[in-house]
Chain A
Amino acid sequence: MSHDHIDVSYVAKLARLDLTEEEVKTFQSQLEAILGHVESLTALELPDDLNLDANDHLAMMRDDNPLPSLPSELVLQNAPDQAQNQIRVPKVVADA
């Protein structure tokens, strides 16, 4: 599998990252080198005597009892913008 064409701009967009042109260029070569190294995993022969997909960590559950969480005033202390005891953000839904 070739990774010469990892589309850094596209993957960055998936991760909600705006990159400068310089960053795209720098990361392109660096990530290709890193992927070249990790690619060795894809060629590795895995033994079939082991259940390698077994999930050792079962989801831990607790009883559905409400417990205290952070008070609103403490949470809002860190909010970049707030109003009416809520975090204020730019418009999420476009106007009709």
Chain B
Amino acid sequence: MTLTALRQQFLNGETTPAKALEDLAEKIKTRDETTKAFISYDLERSLEIATKADISKPLGGLPIAIKDNINTFGQPCTCGSKFLENSYVSPYDATVITKLLDAGAIPFGRTNMDEFAMGSATENSAIQLTRNPRDPERIAGGSSGGSAAAVADGTAFAALGSDTGGSIRQPASHCGVVGLKPTYGRVSRYGLVAFASSLDQIGPLTLSVDDSALILQAIAGHDPRDTTSLDSPVPDYSATINNGVDGLTLGIPEEYFSEGIHSGVRENVEKCIQRLESQGATILPISLPYTAHVVATYYVIAPAEASSNLSRFDGIRYGNRSKDASDIIDVYHQSREAGFGPEVKRRIILGTYVLSSGYYDAFYTRAQRVRKLITRDFIQAFKKVDAIISPVTPTPARRIGACAGDPLQDYLSDIFTIGANLAGIPAISVPCGTTAFDGSPALPVGVQILAPHLGEQMLLRVAKAAEQQPLR
């Protein structure tokens, strides 16, 4: 059931927020045994909020699952890491949580994720593995795999995730739900545990585009506590959402339809493009020439920023501190060795290396310059088109463990999502069908829509036109 439908049930008196929460908790007890989307949930605390919920508010009484890297007062915030497991309770609310509460919503449940948001499969969680509800032998995607899986599995009506290189859109595509990454700065990052500060954004994962607009409306806006937050008015995202695509020009980037795409992904995305064309859109081939360099650029900048951001995890003020350290430096070494998993260590080392003396200019400065060229590609394209359509991933969800020992293979699969993070533009993944893949008969396929900076209204309008019936 969508958030919109649940809200209608509240207003019709068919159910109450407390009842909806209790039903959800029952579903988590049974379905999440296999899926393992949730690291934890606090029904008692959420029921306290539910019983006082004002259903006349925009998100009144609606439960929303929260990715476990978004601080919520009094709740654990593991970031999928042993470093923070059983050792950290959030002493404050992230701005998005404050905004959700102000809109009447009920944060309920902490969802699993790749450790510190580093990964594309939720295999890197140090807490548990999340399985794809469509096929439990498949990854749910990542790093917001828990959030996507919960919405797909019916154990959440909607969830918040974070997206640094595709971590909302890719799991949304793999699980068959809608996932939106806003314009960089549109949603406050205050209270989001930082991975790469120039790339991270919080966004909604939902069953429908309308629900995505509903949540974005509540969480968007300037925040003086986040200096990268845009001081720009928040428009009414629902006002133009049903305007359709008649008269719009949609760009199809040739570099995003290369040979490496699975035929079922290509077919579903192309059918979606044809549907949009039949609804009156003009389809225009475009080129984004620096696409070939997005993965390399991202995997210099993101680890570099991560190596800086994760230096705060030193075992001193919070987190699991090693017991056997002989002095302060030893505390850092031992706590970090024990607390971080292999992917996090790998990215910290990579980031430290590209920022080190002798390599800084060759790698980091270089990557920042190429980033500007990637951004320019999009700006130039948006002079000719209103939005861009592409696949989200080259293939549907792979088998769990298929990339073990070969991180580069996973990195390369981020090619279609990374560009939006580097350029700071908004992007959304919308389910557009299913396909057989590697022994699984019907895995979800998502179509990605990209829009100019602060173009969320356009984004949602095209996404709504592309949307079909929810898979559940």
Contact = CB atoms under 8 A, between A and B. Distances in A.
B212 interface: no
B336 interface: yes
B371 to A, nearest CB: 9
B29 interface: no
Interface residues of B, number: 64
A41 B329 contact: no
Contacts of A75: 91, 317
A33 to B, nearest CB: 5
- Tell me if B's interface is mostly helix, strand, loop or mixed: helix
Contacts of A59: 227
A83 interface: no
B242 interface: no
Contacts of A46: 369-370, 373
Interface in A29-86: 30-31, 33-35, 37-42, 44, 46-47, 50, 52-54, 57, 59-60, 62, 70, 74-75, 77-81
A91 B300 CA distance: 36
A47 B289 CA distance: 13
A12 to B, nearest CB: 6
A18 B365 CA distance: 28
A53 B369 contact: yes
Given A40-B296, A41-B366, A23 B342 contact: yes
- Tell me if A's interface is mostly helix, strand, loop or mixed: loop
Contacts of B293: 40-41, 44
Contact of B411 (A18, A34, A54, A78): A34
A91 B373 contact: no
A96 interface: no
Given A37-B295, A41-B366, A44-B293, A14 B352 contact: yes
A8 B342 CA distance: 13
23 contacts: A12-B345, A17-B348, A18-B337, A23-B345, A26-B342, A30-B346, A33-B408, A37-B295, A37-B299, A38-B296, A38-B367, A39-B296, A44-B370, A53-B365, A70-B92, A75-B317, A77-B91, A80-B321, A81-B321, A89-B316, A89-B328, A90-B326, A91-B327
Interface of A: 1, 6, 8, 11-12, 14-19, 23, 26-27, 30-31, 33-35, 37-42, 44, 46-47, 50, 52-54, 57, 59-60, 62, 70, 74-75, 77-81, 87, 89-92
Of all A-B residue pairs in the complex, the 5 with the closest CB atoms, nearest first, are A80-B321, A52-B369, A78-B318, A74-B91, A60-B227
